Chains A and B, each alone.
Chain A
Amino acid sequence: MMKTKKRNPFKVPKGYFNSLEKSLLKKTQVEFNASGYKTPNNYFNELEKEIFKKTLKISKLNNSKIFKRALLTFSGIAASTIIFYIITTPKSYAIQDKEVFEDFIETYYLEDFESYEIFSMLDENEIQTTFVYNSKPLNED
């Protein structure tokens, strides 16, 4: 009983709903035909040129941006490397400088001064404290 109530007793020809849409479209198009819009003469050729002009500008701009970014990255890396080098190296320089200076003094004294000259530059007290003679042999206990 319930089944018979729910069933639709009306029928349509096969494929009716597919053809309905087509026939509706056909009817309305016959009545109203085209949209009526038009463009200026040669518009689409000009449009193409205009689009290429604009996209070319954008491409150039993008390329220069990429170049600038690369340059900036490179200078950043170079700058940080230099800063890192400066921060980490001054001590070793100082040590090297000191060593070079001491070497120079030593060579100067050894090469250009005789013992007499060295003594002449020192005070008596200095001579005593610098050249104290120890009579005891070093290994003797």
Chain B
Amino acid sequence: MTPQSLFVKALKHPDSRDEAFSRLVSEYKERLYWHIRKIVIDHDDANDVVQNTFIKIHINIENFKEKSSLYTWMYRIASNESLNFIKSKASKMGLKNQEWIESLADGLIADPHFDGDEAAIILQKQVAQLPEKQRIVFNMRYFDRMNYESISEILGTSIGALKSSYHHAVKKIKIRLNDEN
């Protein structure tokens, strides 16, 4: 039995669940938060989404069949939660998802939870203009330095498509930045 299987077993067993879940939260809270934060941009929104993500993990751990790694499964839940959150928030505002994200990126300069320099703000604005999936791929590859195999498992997209998506994203950002300069 692998260490992951043992850990999952502990998460599923009523006697060891609380302790194992506490370890899980300690281990992954920051990684999941940052993954979510880059998708939803705003800290308060990220806080809501990361809490919902861990609650979903807690509720659905019984259904986790270990077809993928626990880490991949949690990232998938976090990505879906973030995208659903954006969808619902944008629809409440009467905006498209992309418009909502761009408006958040435009407001970064006044965000108390953002201390990036001018270059970082420009980059975030450019990233916000990417199509949703391309934006997530770019974040995971560029900021989180994930390998394509992991991204492929999380997003359920082929490695070839991911590579193409990432290179398109980099190209677009570079062109736009050159135009701005």
A39 pairs with B116, CB closer than 8 A: no
B170 pairs with A52, CB closer than 8 A: no
Given A32-B120, A47-B51, residue A37 in contact with residue B38 (CB < 8 A): yes
A29 interface residue per 8 A CB criterion: yes
A36 to chain B: closest CB distance in Å?
A: 2
CA–CA, A47 and B47, complex, Å: 8
CA–CA, A52 and B115, complex, Å: 30
B21 to chain A: closest CB distance in Å?
A: 7
Chain A residues touching B, majority SS:
helix
A37 pairs with B51, CB closer than 8 A: no
For chain A, give the interface size range: 20 to 34
A33 pairs with B120, CB closer than 8 A: yes
- What is the interface of chain A, defined by CB distance below 8 A to chain B? 24-25, 28-29, 31-40, 43-44, 47-48, 50-52, 54-55, 58-59
Residue of B nearest to A36 (CB): B116
A47 pairs with B58, CB closer than 8 A: no
B59 to chain A: closest CB distance in Å?
A: 7
CA–CA, A50 and B54, complex, Å: 11
Which of B17, B51, B170, B177 has a CB less than 8 Å from the CB of A50? B51
Which of B116, B142, B170, B177 has a CB less than 8 Å from the CB of A37? B116
